[in-house]
Structure 1
Amino acid sequence: WNAAVAADALPGISAEVARHAAHPATPFDATWKVAAPHAPARWVRNLGKIVSHDAHGQPTRMLGVAMDVTPQREQEELLQKLAHYDALTGLPNRVLLAKLLQDRMAETRANGTRLGVAYLDLDGFKPVNDRLGHGAGDRLLVVVAGRLSRALRPQDCVARLGGDEFVILMPGLASPAEGEQLLQRVMDSISPPYSLEGERVSVTASIGYTLFPLDDADADALLRHADQAMYAAKQAGRNRFHQFDAEQERAQRAQREQGQQLRDALARGEFVLFLQPKVAMQAGVVVGAETLARWQHPERGLLSPAAFLPLVESTGLELAFGEWVVETALAQLEQLILAGLQLPLSINISARQLQQPGFADWMLERLARHPQVPATLVELEITESAALYDLPAVTGTLARLRALGMAVSLDDFGTGYSSLTYLRNLPMDTLKIDQSFVHGMMTDPGDMAIVQGVIGLARSFGCKVIAEGVETVEQGQMLQQMGCAHAQGYGIARPMPFDRFAGWVAHWQPPAGWLRYRPGESLR
């Protein structure tokens, strides 16, 4: 009986016999193809029941019926083909591609090779389609599909997504170079002219590709990445292939995730403003404080600005974060005033924030929300680069805010490359000597000269000067000798939580070496 049955069908038939023998209540039911000597093969469905066994209990005879189900089976196969293959080109369609891609990804992981996923779009197809008609365009696509199939290896697969877009799967690549050799072969196969409607027309291909698992994304993302790379090939001039940069994508994805973490942290109130005191060394009094952001991370603990400010600046959160800083600093000022402390607070303003149209109006509107806070206790701290990016606009903004009583401090002075001609026209009240020069001035004559120069410039500009990063009594004494009276740094106090600031101010005692008056010293 099995002479006309295909060999690959026999294991399934044997398995169904065994199942029926074990569960005789349900009939034997199997369908297979039967080959006839001088006629087309037919599909036969066989239903039966075992009716006798041998002495060992093995089935020997089955009684049943066989039905010719060829029309139904052919209809099923047609429907399967329509569901999984492109009707025009006969290539796998999007549905079958999804399954093939998943299968190839699993095989690639198992055998430790690479899978190339390429997205191909024809260059110049639309003009041909528009000029010669859709019928000619369809014939061109059929010829292109044939050329693609012949250019690839037997194990490769090309699918049509629709229009003039195709996807190529290249499993088992030993190296990226092997994939690029295949793609070059594909491009060479497409570029020769085509005969359509008595004309010779030419099209080329732009191809983007990515390599799995170097690009360790899911199937949908692999196709999307190859598509992105294809558009890069188009933008680079067409008729070429371009590899997706997986490292860059990972970096961008990490940046997006970090940006979302920062947004969530801002929404949850995880950021806090610490205060670092500023003092007049010789007088021995606290003259203000600088507000400095910290991130109270739920897992990593308290993080300094170095751990998150670069991310704030690179993820588009700079303005939102800057608004939070200003609002929080004004609220802290209000609380200090209620506690009897009339001390100015310095608020760091980013370049982007300062350059926003209407910044002065926005700042005044925020100040109006805190009527108990006088403008004279608000100091805006900016950097050289922020001030000089658009000097006329910045000058107008700062001049307006200064006219209302706010002070302006130029931070990290001496680290930039600013022209003194520009700086002398900038509305400002204080120059801050960068801590790098303060740290080095005790041993480096160059740093000493820079510190002296900044103090001299401040005097000539009519500004106060303050040194940041003061860590030792000797540094404070040296600064006083050169004419710098104000300082901040770890030698005075580290940045502290807001609720500790008032108590610290009440009990701070300056080093004795800073209190000795030296005749002729400037208190600037």
Structure 2
Amino acid sequence: MFRIFGRDPALGTPNLQGQAALYTPQSTQQLYAAVNLAVSEGTPYELELMTVQPDGELRPCFVMGFPERDERGRVVRLAGLVQDITQRMREEEKIRLAASVFSHAREGITITTASGTIVDINDAFTRITGYSREEVIGQNPRVLKSGRQDAAFYAAMWGDLTGLGHWSGEVWNRRKNGEVYAELLTISAVRDAQGITQQYVALFSDITTIKEQQNQLEHIAHFDALTDLPNRVLLADRLQQAMAHAQRRQKQLAVTYLDLDGFKAINDHHGHEAGDHVLVTLAHRMKQALREGDTLARLGGDEFVAVLIDMEDMAASWPMLNRLLEAAAQPVQWDDLTLQVSASLGVTFYPQSQDIDADQLLRQADQAMYQAKVAGKNRYQIFNAVQDRDLRGHHESLERVRLALENREFVLYFQPKVNMRSGQVIGAEALIRWQHPEKGLLAPAEFLPVIEDHALAVDVGEWVIDQTLTQMAQWQANGLNLAQVSVNVGARQLQQGDFVDRLKRILARHPQINPVHLQMEVLETSALSDMAQVSQVIEECAQMGVMFALDDFGTGYSSLTYLKRLRVALLKIDQSFVRDMLEDPDDLAILQGVIGLAAAFKRQVIAEGVETIEHGTALLHLGCELAQGYGIARPMPGADIPAWVAAWRPDGAWSEFNSLDDTVPSVG
């Protein structure tokens, strides 16, 4: 009793009034009422009361009272006991809470025996599956099986459950009404003190709507909105697969770049609706002219690419190329009008005598297509490798680039990045230039392709990082602190086994720069070349504070799986989509899809190539606030950045933009 009330035993046992003072006022009233009834009528009592400890803590207790009578039946005294029930009350509260969670959870809950027999479900289970409690108790969860997962899937699941004691993943199951649905499922084993599984508890939620939205986003990201053909994003993946297939099977692959002749005149004279009808009709006809395994993709406008696989030699492609020409030249009926165009085709083949990548194949086919137009249109032209080497003759040699690095002829320019709505300058991108002693200031495209597959690319890349950090230190000394300055990292540099260690050494030479202010921009195609290695590099850099951005996003195969695995903080929308978004509904659709993907994966998104106020306003309407481009600022020397930052103000149309306005801009 003394322990329960927190009372010093030396004070002795308190009388009734003394005991009453140890309870809360409400409990005291209950105690007096019970005692009076016990004395007057001889009724014993059992109460749950609340004590007040000396430190003010409230503690529950169970109180029993027993009247004792004399030989004449009169109550002469009360005997009783007091029990601390704090722990019992806590356990009961846990039980009530667990029962409440079980009953009211929005997720379905299933409890089975160790052998898999269902012993209990909650209301959410019935709501999601359609099965009542009576219909599934005693059944096996196989009653929900949809057939979409094979035996190997379930074997792996049970392997995790028995080995790890838990499993989590996505499963397709079937409701009572036969409808197949997707669920996010977590199963945990409940084990006894000896580690033997007694029950399994499964928690699941219906994610069918989310999966449908993901599929829609995947489709938007990979298929042309008008013709439903693969777009340039999916084409990149299909072409990579076709090249690998050709190498394995030792067969020829043809890449055909197709541009419609006379299509612009149809748009100009009869309107975009007529033009769209022609595109959709011809896209269907040209697809029908190809074989099942071939790919026809639309790049945008009136440009298409066909990938023809499994050919024994070049001559095997001639019939298909002629069928494409015939399909493109067939008349198209539009109301009372008969519309007709033709096509110019450029063709290149793979493999070639020298190593070549997918982008080079497309450039070769594009160049051959141009030659077909020059030659009179409505024909195909085969790519001429000798002519191509002549066209490349202006590129600087590898040795000259090495000398330029040694002679300090390279310089850095910086292009600001801004938040168009708030007006904040959020950072800048470092861009290399070559101050050539004879040719003047050269853009990266004039010399970087020469070294992209050579070890010199690593030396130039590390020079850029070192000089960027030096410039950041100068800015800091002058009072300018940009949140993040990004540098471009090429595939060759990123794939170095000691990339992270080399980066650490460069950062160590600039201790005044916090690594969180440095960002790496990597091309999407580079990031996907070795997913595991690149993902590991990104993780290790993130531990130092250096985050990554995925550059030219949308020009590679932007899979949801890749976004999930790559811990990039920022997606950069390729300028090719931004540049034509106001005229090309396909680019606008791709932008909407990319911005949607970024939001779904909680990534920041920035648009490059913002050239006009109208481009920025349209992007704000789509939910993209971060941007860079000539419409904001051209790249400039580092010394000019502080003055530009101090003077820059966003256009009124941007700063007054209402973020709640979700009107999608129209294109024409």
Distance 1:445 1:318, change over 3 A: same
Q: Does the alignment pair 1:326 with 2:461? A: no
**Which residue identity lines up with residue 375 of structure 1 in the other structure?**
P
1:54-93 alignment to 2 at 5 Å?
Answer: none
Q: Distance in 2 between matches of 1:435 and 1:519?
A: 23
Q: Does the alignment pair 1:357 with 2:507? A: no
Query: 1:424 aligns to what SS in structure 2?
Result: helix
Q: How far off its partner does 1:424 sit?
A: 1.6
**Which residue identity lines up with residue 485 of structure 1 in the other structure?**
E
Q: Does the alignment pair 1:474 with 2:603? A: no
Q: Distance in 2 between matches of 1:298 and 1:449?
A: 45
Show the counterpart of 1:445.
585
Distance 1:281 1:255, change over 3 A: closer
Q: Distance in 2 between matches of 1:363 and 1:400?
A: 11
Distance 1:316 1:401, change over 3 A: closer
Percent sequence identity is 50
Query: 2:493 aligns to what SS in structure 1?
Result: helix
Show the counterpart of 1:288.
427
Q: Choose the corresponding residue for 2:476, options 312, 317, 337.
A: 337
Q: Distance in 2 between matches of 1:455 and 1:402?
A: 23
Distance 1:441 1:254, change over 3 A: closer
Q: Distance in 2 between matches of 1:421 and 1:519?
A: 30
Deviations, residues 311-337 of structure 1 (Å, cap 9, x unaligned):
122554211111111111111111111
Query: 1:290 aligns to what SS in structure 2?
Result: strand
Cα RMSD, aligned residues only? 2.4
Q: Distance in 1 between matches of 2:397 and 2:565?
A: 40
With the length of structure 1 as denominator, give the TM-score of the two structures: 0.50
Show the counterpart of 1:347.
487
Deviations, residues 123-162 of structure 1 (Å, cap 9, x unaligned):
xxxxxxxxxxxxxxxxxxxxxxxxxxxxxxxxxxxxxxxx
Deviations, residues 466-510 of structure 1 (Å, cap 9, x unaligned):
000001111111101111010000000000011111111111121
Q: How far off its partner does 1:440 sit?
A: 1.2
Distance 1:433 1:479, change over 3 A: same
Q: Distance in 1 between matches of 2:394 and 2:446?
A: 14
Deviations, residues 74-116 of structure 1 (Å, cap 9, x unaligned):
xxxxxxxxxxxxxxxxxxxxxxxxxxxxxxxxxxxxxxxxxxx
Q: Choose the corresponding residue for 1:311, options 433, 450, 456.
A: 450
| Alpha-carbon contact 1:410-1:430 (below 8 Å) kept | yes
| Alpha-carbon contact 2:613-2:651 (below 8 Å) kept | yes
**Which residue identity lines up with residue 293 of structure 1 in the other structure?**
I
Show the counterpart of 2:509.
369
Query: 2:462 aligns to what SS in structure 1?
Result: helix
Q: Distance in 2 between matches of 1:258 and 1:453?
A: 41
Show the counterpart of 1:400.
540
Q: Does the alignment pair 1:511 with 2:651? A: yes
Q: How far off its partner does 1:423 sit?
A: 2.2
Q: How far off its partner does 1:264 sit?
A: 0.9
| Alpha-carbon contact 2:563-2:601 (below 8 Å) kept | no
Deviations, residues 433-467 of structure 1 (Å, cap 9, x unaligned):
11111011111111101101111111111111000
Deviations, residues 52-86 of structure 1 (Å, cap 9, x unaligned):
xxxxxxxxxxxxxxxxxxxxxxxxxxxxxxxxxxx
Q: Which aligned segments of 4 or more residues in structure 1 are displaced greater than 4 angstroms?
A: 253-257
| Alpha-carbon contact 1:277-1:493 (below 8 Å) kept | yes
Distance 1:274 1:257, change over 3 A: closer
With the length of structure 2 as denominator, give the TM-score of the two structures: 0.40
Query: 1:408 aligns to what SS in structure 2?
Result: strand
Q: Does the alignment pair 1:491 with 2:635? A: no
1:113-512 alignment to 2 at 5 Å?
Answer: 258-314=397-453, 316-343=455-482, 344-512=484-652
Larger Rg: 1
| Alpha-carbon contact 2:396-2:447 (below 8 Å) kept | no
Q: Distance in 2 between matches of 1:348 and 1:521?
A: 34
Q: Distance in 2 between matches of 1:411 and 1:385?
A: 9
The aligned length equals 276
| Alpha-carbon contact 1:480-1:521 (below 8 Å) kept | no
Distance 1:521 1:457, change over 3 A: farther
Distance 1:458 1:521, change over 3 A: farther
Tell me, which stretches of 5 or more residues in structure 2 are unaligned?
1-385, 663-668
**Which residue identity lines up with residue 395 of structure 1 in the other structure?**
S
Distance 1:256 1:346, change over 3 A: closer
Q: Distance in 1 between matches of 2:396 and 2:418?
A: 41
Q: Distance in 2 between matches of 1:406 and 1:316?
A: 23
Query: 1:364 aligns to what SS in structure 2?
Result: helix
| Alpha-carbon contact 1:312-1:321 (below 8 Å) kept | no
Deviations, residues 227-274 of structure 1 (Å, cap 9, x unaligned):
xxxxxxxxxxxxxxxxxxxx79x98x9799711111111111110010
